[in-house]
C-alpha cells in the first residue's frame, strides 16, 4: 500500500518562549521535526507533506534541506488538528493509498509502531490510532473502546467524569486511507469545548458510516511531546539514555556512559572505546576499534579503525582520519584528511589539509589556511616530519619524507626528501646576558631612589 506522510508543525510553540519556531529547536543535534520525518521515512512514503504556520520560512528552508522533495502546506489560521490535516489535501492530489499523520513536536514514535498501525489497516480497519496507557492521563484525548474496537476519541475538555477515568490515551498518530481521511475531515465540526476542528472526531464519524476503527498501542515514552524548554531537556535526556544503551548493546565501551552525548546519526563501530565527557555532534562515524579519549568534541568527522583521538581533541566538519591515525590533546582538525598512522599529537591546528601516511606533525604546528578573504590547502606527503611550531602558509606542499625545521614559517613548496628551515639564524653572544641582568637591576634601584 503506498503511503503518504502528513507532519503537523503549525503550532506556535508559545511555551518555548522563543524567537525560533518550536520544531526548529534541536534534539540530538537535529531539528525536532526531523525526528518525526525520520520515523516516517521508514515507511518509504510516496509523498511527505509538512504543515507549517504562516511566516514559517525558516521551517520550510530546514525541511527542504532535509528532504528536497517535501511538500509544504501552510495553515494560515490555527483551527485545530483536523483543519491542519485538511491543508495537506492539495499536496496529496492524485495520491491514493494510506496517509499517516505525525506531529512535528513528537520525536520518539518508532517505525515499528507505524508498521503495526499499517498491519491493523491491512486487517480491515478504516482508521487506526496509536494509543498508549498513560501513567498520568492529564489532558490527553481518551480512547473509548469496546473490546478491540475503537468507538471514538473524546478530548479531555469535552469528556465526562467517566470518560476522564479512561487511561488509554491518544498519541495523535493516525493512519487512514487518504481519500477516506479527507472525506471524514470534511464532516468534522468545531462544535466542542475548544471551538476547534478535532482530527480525533474522524473515529466517531467513521463508525457512524459503518467503518471500523482500531487502536494500536505503544509505550508511553514514544509519545513524549515537546511544548516547553523543560520538555525539550527531558526529550534530550530520553534520547541520550537510549543512545547510550544502544551503543553499549552494539559493543561500544563507554567508561562513563552518562557523560557521553550522541547525535541522532552518530555511528560507532564495534570495540570502539569512548572515555568520559565526549560529545558527538551531527555527522560522526567512528570505525571499529578506535579510541576516543576524554573531553573530545567531534562533529562531521570520520574516524578510521584503530585511530586514537584526544584527550581534549576537536574534530570539526570534514575531518577524515584514516586507520591508526593519532590526533592528540588540544588539536583541532577541520576539513582535512589525516593519512594512515599519521600523528598530530599536540597543540596543533590542521585545517584544509591532506596529511600523508605516517607523517609526523610536531607540537604547535599551524596550517595558516586563511588570508582573511580566501581559504587555501596544505599538502603534506607521506612520512614527512613537520618540526614543532611550523607555520605552513597555504597554499603550500611539503613533499614525501621532507623535514621542516622547528619554528619555521614555510611559504614555499618543499620537494620530496628535502629539509626546509625558515627562521632567523641563531646568534650567541658570550657574557651578554649577565651584563644585561646587571643593567636591569641597576635601573630598578635608580627608579626606587636608592643608590
Ligand atoms: C492532541 C489530540 C489529543 C492527543 C494529543 C497528544 C486533537 C484534537 N487532540 O491534543 O487527542 O491526546 O494531541 O499530544 O487532535 N497543530 C497544527 N495546527 C493546529 C492545531 C495543532 O499544526 O491548528 C499541530 C500542533 O503543532 C501539534 C499537534 O498538531 O504538533 C497537536 O496539537 P496540540 O494543540 O498540541 O493538540 P493537543 O491539544 O495536545
Ligand atoms: Ca500537545
Confidence check: pLDDT of 92 > 90: yes
Confidence check: pLDDT of 271 > 60: yes
Tens digit of each residue's pLDDT (9 = 90 or more) over 24-51 = 999 999 999 999 999 999 999 999 999 9
Mutate-to-test residue for ligand 1 from 7, 103, 131, highest number of ligand atoms within 8 A of CB = 103
pLDDT at 343: 98
* C-alpha span between 155 and 150 (Å, rounded): 14
The mean pLDDT value for 244-256 works out to 98
Q: What percent of the chain has pLDDT over 70?
A: 100
The mean pLDDT value for 103-131 works out to 97
Cis peptide bond upstream of 395, omega within 30: yes
Confidence check: pLDDT of 451 > 60: no
Three cell numbers, residue 94: 492524485
The alpha carbon of 105 and the centre of ligand 2 are apart by a number of angstroms equal to 8
- Does 203 contact ligand 1 (Cβ within 6 A)? no
Ligand closest to the CA atom of residue 223: 1
- Does 198 contact ligand 1 (Cβ within 6 A)? yes
Ligand closest to the CA atom of residue 13: 1
The mean pLDDT value for 178-192 works out to 98
Residue 375 φ then ψ, to 5°: -110, 145
pLDDT at 316: 98
The mean pLDDT value for 6-31 works out to 95
Confidence check: pLDDT of 348 > 70: yes
pLDDT at 55: 84
Residue carrying C-alpha cell 508511553:
220
Q: Give me the chain's average pLDDT, please.
A: 97
- Does 222 contact ligand 1 (Cβ within 6 A)? no
* C-alpha span between 197 and 201 (Å, rounded): 8
- Does 79 contact ligand 1 (Cβ within 6 A)? yes
Contacts 24+ apart (CB under 8 A), 13-21: 13/105, 13/227, 15/227, 15/228, 16/227, 16/228, 16/229, 16/232, 17/229, 20/58, 21/53, 21/56, 21/58, 21/59
- Does 84 contact ligand 1 (Cβ within 6 A)? yes
Q: Which residues are catalytic?
A: 346
Ligand closest to the CA atom of residue 22: 1
Tens digit of each residue's pLDDT (9 = 90 or more) over 370-384 = 999 999 999 999 999
- The CA-to-CA distance between both ends of the chain, in Å, stands at 101
Q: Pick from 247, 226, 249: which is nearest to 26 by CA?
A: 226
- Does 86 contact ligand 1 (Cβ within 6 A)? no
The alpha carbon of 61 and the centre of ligand 2 are apart by a number of angstroms equal to 24
Q: Measure CA 221 to chain center.
A: 20
Three cell numbers, residue 23: 520544531
Confidence of residue 350 (pLDDT cuts 50, 70, 90): very high
- Does 201 contact ligand 1 (Cβ within 6 A)? no
The alpha carbon of 199 and the centre of ligand 1 are apart by a number of angstroms equal to 9
Three cell numbers, residue 396: 603550500
262, 244 contact by CB (below 8 A): yes
The alpha carbon of 38 and the centre of ligand 1 are apart by a number of angstroms equal to 20
Low-confidence winner among 8-17, 81-90, 160-169, 326-335 (lowest mean pLDDT): 8-17
* C-alpha span between 302 and 15 (Å, rounded): 38
Which ligand 1 atom is nearest residue 80's CA? 23
Confidence of residue 12 (pLDDT cuts 50, 70, 90): confident
The alpha carbon of 106 and the centre of ligand 2 are apart by a number of angstroms equal to 9
Tens digit of each residue's pLDDT (9 = 90 or more) over 358-371 = 999 999 999 999 99
Confidence check: pLDDT of 450 > 80: no
Confidence of residue 1 (pLDDT cuts 50, 70, 90): confident
Task: Give Cβ neighbours of residue 22 (< 8 Å, ≥ 6 apart).
Answer: 9, 11, 12, 13, 16, 32, 104, 105, 226, 227
Q: Pick from 25, 26, 24, 28: which is nearest to 244 by CA?
A: 28
Amino acid at each position: 500500500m503506498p503511503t503518504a506522510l502528513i507532519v503537523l508543525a503549525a503550532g506556535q510553540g508559545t511555551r518555548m518562549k522563543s524567537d525560533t519556531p518550536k520544531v526548529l529547536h534541536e534534539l540530538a543535534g537535529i531539528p525536532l521535526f526531523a525526528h518525526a520525518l525520520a520515523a516516517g521515512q521508514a515507511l518509504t512514503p510516496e509523498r511527505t507533506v509538512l504543515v507549517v504556520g504562516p511566516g514559517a520560512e525558516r521551517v520550510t528552508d530546514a525541511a527542504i534541506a532535509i528532504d528536497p522533495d517535501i511538500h509544504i502546506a501552510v495553515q494560515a489560521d490555527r483551527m485545530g488538528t483536523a483543519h491542519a490535516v485538511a491543508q495537506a489535501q492539495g499536496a496529496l492530489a492524485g495520491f491514493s493509498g494510506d496517509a499517516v499523520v505525525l506531529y512535528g513536536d513528537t520525536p520518539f514514535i518508532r517505525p515499528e509502531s507505524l508498521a503495526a498501525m499499517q498491519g491493523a489497516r491491512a486487517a480491515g480497519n478504516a482508521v487506526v490510532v496509536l494509543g498508549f496507557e498513560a501513567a498520568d492521563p492529564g489532558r490527553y484525548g481518551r480512547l473509548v473502546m469496546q473490546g478491540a474496537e475503537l468507538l471514538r476519541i473524546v478530548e479531555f475538555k469535552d469528556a465526562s467524569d467517566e470518560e476522564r477515568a479512561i487511561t488509554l490515551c491518544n498519541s495523535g498518530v493516525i493512519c487512514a486511507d487518504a481519500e477516506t481521511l479527507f472525506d471524514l475531515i470534511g464532516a468534522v465540526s468545531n462544535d466542542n469545548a475548544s471551538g476547534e476542528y478535532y482530527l480525533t472526531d474522524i473515529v466517531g464519524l467513521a463508525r457512524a458510516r459503518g467503518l471500523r476503527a482500531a487502536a494500536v498501542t505503544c509505550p508511553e515514552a514514544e509519545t513524549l511531546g515537546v511544548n516547553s524548554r523543560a520538555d525539550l531537556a527531558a526529550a534530550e535526556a530520553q534520547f541520550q539514555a537510549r543512545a547510550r544503551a544502544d551503543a553499549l548493546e552494539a559493543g561500544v565501551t563507554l567508561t562513563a556512559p552518562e557523560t557521553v552525548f550522541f547525535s541522532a546519526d552518530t555511528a560507532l563501530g564495534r570495540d570502539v572505546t569512548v572515555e568520559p565527557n565526549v560529545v558527538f555532534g551531527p555527522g560522526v562515524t567512528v570505525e571499529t576499534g578506535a579510541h576516543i579519549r576524554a573531553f573530545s568534541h567531534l562533529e562531521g568527522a570520520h574516524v578510521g579503525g584503530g585511530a586514537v583521538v584526544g584527550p581534549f581533541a576537536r574534530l570539526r566538519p570534514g575531518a577524515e582520519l584514516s586507520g591508526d591515525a593519532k590526533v592528540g590533546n588540544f588539536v583541532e582538525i577541520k576539513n582535512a584528511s589525516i593519512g594512515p598512522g599519521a600523528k598530530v599529537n599536540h597543540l596543533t591546528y590542521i585545517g584544509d589539509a591532506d596529511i600523508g601516511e605516517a607523517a609526523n606533525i610536531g607540537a604547535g604546528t599551524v596550517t595558516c589556511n586563511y588570508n582573511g578573504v580566501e581559504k587555501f590547502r596544505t599538502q603534506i606527503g607521506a612520512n614527512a616530519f613537520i618540526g614543532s611550531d611550523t607555520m605552513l602558509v597555504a597554499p603550500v606542499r611539503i613533499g614525501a619524507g621532507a623535514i621542516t625545521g622547528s619554528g619555521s614559517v614555510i611559504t614555499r613548496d618543499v620537494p620530496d626528501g628535502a629539509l626546509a628551515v625558515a627562521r632567523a639564524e641563531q646568534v650567541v653572544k658570550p657574557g651578554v646576558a649577565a651584563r644585561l641582568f646587571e643593567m636591569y637591576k641597576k635601573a630598578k634601584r635608580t627608579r626606587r631612589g636608592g643608590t
